[in-house]
Amino acid sequence: MSNMDKQHIQIRHNAMPHTQHTQHTQNGVEHRPVFMPRVNSDNLVKTDMVRFERHVGFASRQKKKTINDLHQVIRKKYGFKNVLEMSSKSGNKLSFLLNPSSLMLRHDVDGKSYSVENAFYASQVFESGGPYTDLLTAPPRQAKKDARITTSGNLMYYDYCGMEWSVAPLTTFYDWLYITALTQNPQLYDEVMQYQAFTDIEFNPKKSSHCAAYAVAMFVALNKRGLVEKAADPMAFFNLYLDFKVSNTEQHLAQNALL
């Protein structure tokens, strides 16, 4: 992309509402999304909200109990054997390597590698500022919490390596960044492809729409369909959101709002 003139990738598409909600009840019952790669379907990823008993508390052992209960429900409901929790609370080494703060992406302009998290926040362009490319080299947690992200007005578009991405469909740019990074780390392929579903109990749909668990599920689906190499092209990846139906937490919120 470094040899290309600045382009603006845009598509006419009705974006889902940006507000999402995690559902709770008072009796220790919670709903969390599970992201399932699909091969023989008109979805690349199928998202479902799973109801399970939560363990109250912030201790690591309570989080692990919650993860175990969530995965037990998923295994029983869908018949899956291999479900990967993507948050750091899983204690799984693969989850750490797949974390967007750890997964590295080679930058097309300077040839250096930066985390997906850094690349995402360093590409954001707002009404009154950005892209803040200095965030490429900041600690990932610092890049995410940089004050300019919340004080520069509305997010207008993304600018990555001189190519502009529209903010709609909502998670397209993030998903492309993540999947591109994963394709650049083939040593992770074999282990990732063993899993049938992905979760992240730390993902809060009230605060964020972008989820690495969804993106890695999409990677698995694309790989099984033989479309990973095609998806490396930004325009081809963008078109996937037209070729396949989108099933994510945004869609579930929109459907529930109609009930």
- The residues facing 8 across adjacent strands are 164
* Region 130-156 average pLDDT: 97
Cα 45 from chain centre: 12
Instruction: State the average pLDDT for the chain.
Output: 86
Greatest alpha-carbon pair distance for the chain in Å reads 57
Kindly tell me if the per-residue pLDDT of 156 is higher than 80: yes
Closest by alpha carbon to 33, among 177, 172, 205?
205
Residue that has been written with the tokens 């964020």 in this structure: 208
CA distance 30 to 202: 13
- The residues facing 30 across adjacent strands are 24, 52
Residue that has been written with the tokens 């989820």 in this structure: 211
| Residue 251: pLDDT band with limits 50, 70, 90 | low
List phi, psi (to 5°) of 32: -135, 150
Cα 112 from chain centre: 22
CA distance 132 to 79: 45
Kindly tell me if the per-residue pLDDT of 19 is higher than 60: no
Structure tokens at 214: 């969804």
Residue that has been written with the tokens 């799984």 in this structure: 92
This model's pTM is above 0.75: yes
pLDDT tens profile 98-116: 999 999 999 988 899 999 9
Residue pair 175/105 in contact (Cβ under 8 Å)? The answer is no
> Which residues have a Cβ under 8 Å from the Cβ of 134 and sit 6 or more positions away?
122
Closest by alpha carbon to 47, among 228, 198, 256, 205?
198
pLDDT tens profile 195-244: 999 999 989 877 788 999 999 999 999 999 999 998 999 999 999 888 88
Sign of the alpha-carbon dihedral angle for 146, 16, 221, 183: negative
Closest by alpha carbon to 220, among 95, 39, 33, 32?
39
CA distance 3 to 87: 37
Enumerate the domain spans of the chain: 21-258
> Which residues have a Cβ under 8 Å from the Cβ of 194 and sit 6 or more positions away?
82
CA distance 172 to 207: 17
pLDDT value of residue 59: 73
Residue pair 206/168 in contact (Cβ under 8 Å)? The answer is no
Residue pair 253/20 in contact (Cβ under 8 Å)? The answer is yes
CA distance 54 to 31: 9
